Amino acid sequence: MNESLLRELVPTVISILVRRGADFAAAEDAVQDALIEAVRVWQDDPPRDPKGWLVTVAWRKFLDAARADTSRRHREVLVEAEPMPGQGGMVDDTLQLYFLCAHPSLTPASAVALTLRAVGGLTTRQIAQAYLVPEATMAQRISRAKRTVSSVRFDQPGNVATVLRVLYLVFNEGYSGDVDLVAEAIRLTRRLAARTKHEEVAGLLALMLLHHARRPARTTPDGGLVPLSEQDRSLWNTRLIAEGVDVLQAALARDRLGEFQAQAAIAALHADARTAEETDWVQIVEWYDELVRLTGSPVARLNRAVAVGEADGPRAGLAALAELDPSLPRHTAAGAYLHERDGDLVTAARLYAEAGRIAPNLPERDHLTRQAARLNAKLRG
């Protein structure tokens, strides 16, 4: 039983059923029923055409479920004109399914869950485990999402930017349970990149690869956070870095810059430095200028202020930071870091402690609290 093949086929088969006239929720349910049948049958009698088998069985499951519906005759007329399963239309249909699962009418959490289910082929239990919520809760979330998009016309043009934001949300969720959401986000983005030459799809894929390459060095064996400047760069995955740089360069060559390409360029500059001291901070500031121009993002401005502190000195960084809203996430931590670099250990220790109290997660809280304790010990000594 080739489970990875089944997951690859899920979005294509759902798309074919929707194009034949099934609403999204019914199509997704029918495909899940067909997958259960495949698990039961394929072990002893694998089909020569797995996609064709799934389409046939899923369509039969859908018709069985819809038999009492008054629109049955209309749906069966539609299928008579439908070509036999094959490669034709697969690319466009799969793209449309990405767009449908990232529809603006869905909340980000629902869009992510539906994408993992319909495009990624994950089970509800796997998604629930990844997000550390009860399976029943995730089932309700997915069910509501399917109902929401069931009335959306499948031939409406999709918004690539919305799809990318959903995939980036999946990537940033990290991993837990038996599903690695980072790896899953990369897999789905690879599939999207294979179906479209959009520069920002390539930019996001490059960004994911470059960030993922540093993953082995990001934490200590006990789960502690390791800052970029202190990471053991020999642990970085050079194969992923090389691939990410290649993907990014090809995207930049099209001369249609977008925010994910700019972020990937910054990540590439970090990956290119053999040591923290060799980092090209001047060029990183220039890329942050582009990112701010493209997005106006306060977070990008905050990161730019830290980069300015590295390129032009901590006081320049503090001046840039002073122009930003102090309530920004990680503003206090950035201030602590820049004050420490400027030699003001009293202010830095106080800000590290304050940043630790408001940190968004436990690893950051522990890291910032340890930084405060380190400086306080130095001040006492």
Length of the chain: 381
Q: How far apart are CA 214 and CA 264, in angstroms?
A: 13
CB 202 within 8 A of CB 247: yes
Residue 303 has which token pair?
């990161």
H/E element, 230: none
Q: For residues 349 and 129, what is the distance between their CA atoms, to the nearest angstrom?
A: 38
Would you say 123 and 135 are in contact if contact means Cβ atoms under 8 Å apart?
no
Angle between helices 50-66 and 3-20 (to 10 degrees): 50
Q: Is 180 helix (H, G, I), strand (E, B) or coil?
A: strand
- Say what the pLDDT of residue 75 is: 41
- The per-residue pLDDT for 195 is 83
Query: Do 23 and 150 meet the contact criterion of CB atoms below 8 Å apart?
Result: yes
Closest among 363, 194, 171 to 263, alpha carbons compared: 171
Q: What is the pLDDT of residue 85?
A: 39
Q: How far apart are CA 20 and CA 77, in angstroms?
A: 9
Q: What would the two tokens of residue 323 be?
A: 């122009």
Instruction: Record the pTM.
Output: 0.79
For the residues of 77-95, what is the DSSP string, one character each? HHHHTSPPSSSTTHHHHHH
Tokens of 72: 């049955």
Please report how the helices 314-322 and 298-312 are oriented relative to each other, as an axis angle in degrees rounded to 10: 160
21: left (phi over 0), alpha (psi -120 to 50) or beta: left
> Which pair of tokens denotes residue 252?
């930049």
Amino acid identity for residue 38 in this structure: A
Residuewise pLDDT in 10s, the chain (381 residues):
567 777 788 888 888 888 787 888 888 888 888 888 888 888 777 888 888 888 888 888 888 877 645 444 444 434 433 433 333 343 446 777 888 888 888 888 888 888 888 888 888 888 888 777 899 999 999 999 988 888 776 555 567 888 999 899 888 876 555 668 888 889 889 989 988 889 999 999 999 999 999 999 999 988 889 999 999 999 999 999 999 999 999 999 999 999 999 999 999 999 999 999 999 999 999 999 999 999 999 999 999 999 999 999 999 999 999 999 999 999 999 999 999 999 999 999 999 999 999 998 888 999 999 999 999 999 997
d(CA 189, CA 207): 11
Question: Would you say 267 and 210 are in contact if contact means Cβ atoms under 8 Å apart?
Answer: yes
DSSP secondary structure letter of residue 197:
-
Q: Exposed, middle or buried, 258 (CB in 10 Å: 0-12/13-18/19+)?
A: buried
Instruction: Provide the token pair at 378.
Output: 């130095």
3 state SS of 225: strand
The confidence score (pLDDT) of residue 359 equals 93
pLDDT of residue 146: 87
Token pair 């590439």: residue: 268
Radius of gyration for the chain, computed over Cα atoms and rounded to the nearest angstrom: 24
